């Protein structure tokens, strides 16, 4: 009696990711701000007001707006996406269906990583050709890889928000986390130019550690140890996932 119950799960993972990506791509309210804001900010502060022409500011902001850019799709995709689908009952229908549970999350992760690549490619092109930033090919590649992978802790943070937040509050919560956290982590203004009490807070936030890793590639960091930043990011990621799990368990019981 067991024949016919075998299935190949790979197509499920593929289709789940494909449709998650398509659904996101067709949502202008997500795509435009995610792609446009980092580019627009960089054009203003990195090129127009930053002197352009390969200056310090154009170089610094190429790295930090890259970090800023990849945080967006992670927080919005996971945070708002999951909060919405959870409150609509859609997540529950998916759970009741034979979909492997991990397919849902890897689809969101894939979507977030693809958007991160799109943002980085556009931003780095703008920095190189518009801002005349001249990193070595090795620096560009390392920077790209570092910031791309740096997307993952923020997916975990998004998951945490998505697992606890009511759907209607999720956009506000994501923005309240995203923007102040970016500012305090030195993504817009270097941490040492912030008032001291603000600058001291930076070490608490994951974007600070990712930004320091990125800035180290171009020799503009504050001089922290690579392994310290990596460990902090890993610990924060695990913490976010653990809290998200508690959130999901609590919601199931509602």
Partner 1 sequence: MVNESKVPLAELRNAHKSYGPVHALSGCNLQIHPGEVVAMLGPNGAGKTTAVNLMMGLLKPDEGQAQLFGVAPRHARARIRTGVMLQVSGVPDTLRVKEHIKLFSSYYPNPMPLERVLAVSGLKGLENRSFGKLSGGQKQRLLFGLAICGRPELVFLDEPTVGLDVEARRAMWDEIKDLVQHGTSVALTTHYLEEADFLADRIVILNKGKIIAEGSPEQIKTLAAKKCIRCYTSLNATQLAVLPGVVSVREHRHGVEILTAMAEETLKLMFTKDPGLSQLEIVGAGLEEAFLNLTQDNDTEVAA
Under a CB-based contact definition with an 8 Å cutoff, are residues 112 and 74 in contact? yes
Total residues binding partner 1 (CB under 8 A): 31
User: What's the rounded Cα separation, in Å, for the pair 50 and 251?
Assistant: 47
Map 205-252 to HEC letters: CHHHHHHHHHHHHCCCCCCCCHHHHHHHHHHHHHHHHHHHHHHHHHHH
Q: How far is the CB of 184 from partner 1 (least distance, A)?
A: 34
Under a CB-based contact definition with an 8 Å cutoff, are residues 171 and 80 in contact? yes
Q: How far is the CB of 21 from partner 1 (least distance, A)?
A: 11
User: What's the rounded Cα separation, in Å, for the pair 161 and 248?
Assistant: 11
Residue number with CB closer to partner 1 (92 or 141): 92
Residue number with CB closer to partner 1 (51 or 250): 250
Contact string 48-87 vs partner 1 (x = CB under 8 A): ------------------------------------xx-x
Residue 253 found at the interface with partner 1 (CB under 8 A): yes
CA distances for 140 relative to 9, 40, 145, angstroms: 36, 20, 9
Q: Which of 33, 52, 55, 100 binds partner 1 (CB under 8 A)?
A: 100
Q: Which of 53, 56, 95, 192 binds partner 1 (CB under 8 A)?
A: 95
* Alpha helices by DSSP H, the chain: 10-25, 28-41, 56-74, 81-87, 90-96, 101-125, 137-149, 151-164, 167-184, 196-201, 206-217, 226-253
Residue 92 found at the interface with partner 1 (CB under 8 A): yes
Q: Which of 36, 40, 48, 93 binds partner 1 (CB under 8 A)?
A: 93
Q: How far is the CB of 26 from partner 1 (least distance, A)?
A: 4
Residue 34 found at the interface with partner 1 (CB under 8 A): no
User: Which of 159, 174, 72 has its CA nearest to residue 118?
Assistant: 72
Residue 171 found at the interface with partner 1 (CB under 8 A): no
Contact string 2-21 vs partner 1 (x = CB under 8 A): --xxxx---xx--xx--x--
Binding site for partner 1 (CB under 8 A): 1, 4-7, 11-12, 15-16, 19, 22-23, 26-27, 84-85, 87-90, 92-93, 95-100, 252-254
């Amino acid at each position: 009696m067991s024949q016919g119950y075998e299935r190949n799960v790979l197509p499920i993972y593929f289709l789940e990711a494909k449709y998650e990506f398509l659904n996101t791509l067709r949502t202008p309210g997500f795509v435009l701000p995610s792609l446009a804001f980092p580019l627009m900010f960089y054009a203003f502060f990195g090129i127009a007001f930053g002197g352009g022409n390969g200056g310090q500011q154009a170089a610094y902001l190429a790295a930090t707006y890259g970090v800023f850019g990849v945080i967006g799709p992670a927080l919005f995709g996971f945070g708002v996406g999951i909060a919405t689908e959870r409150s609509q009952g859609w997540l529950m229908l998916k759970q009741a269906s034979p979909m492997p549970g991990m397919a849902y999350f890897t689809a969101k992760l894939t979507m977030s990583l693809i958007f991160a690549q799109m943002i980085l490619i556009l931003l780095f092109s703008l920095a190189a050709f518009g801002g005349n930033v001249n990193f070595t090919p090795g620096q560009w590649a390392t920077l790209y890889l570092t910031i791309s992978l740096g997307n993952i802790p923020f997916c975990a943070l998004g998951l945490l928000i998505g697992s606890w937040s009511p759907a209607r509050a999720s956009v506000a919560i994501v923005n309240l986390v995203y923007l102040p956290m970016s500012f305090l982590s030195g993504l817009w203004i270097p941490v040492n130019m912030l008032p001291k009490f603000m600058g001291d807070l930076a070490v608490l936030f994951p974007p600070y550690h990712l930004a320091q890793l990125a800035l180290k590639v171009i020799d503009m960091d504050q001089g922290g140890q690579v392994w310290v930043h990596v460990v902090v990011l890993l610990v924060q990621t695990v913490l976010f996932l653990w809290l998200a799990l508690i959130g999901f368990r609590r919601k199931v019981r509602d």
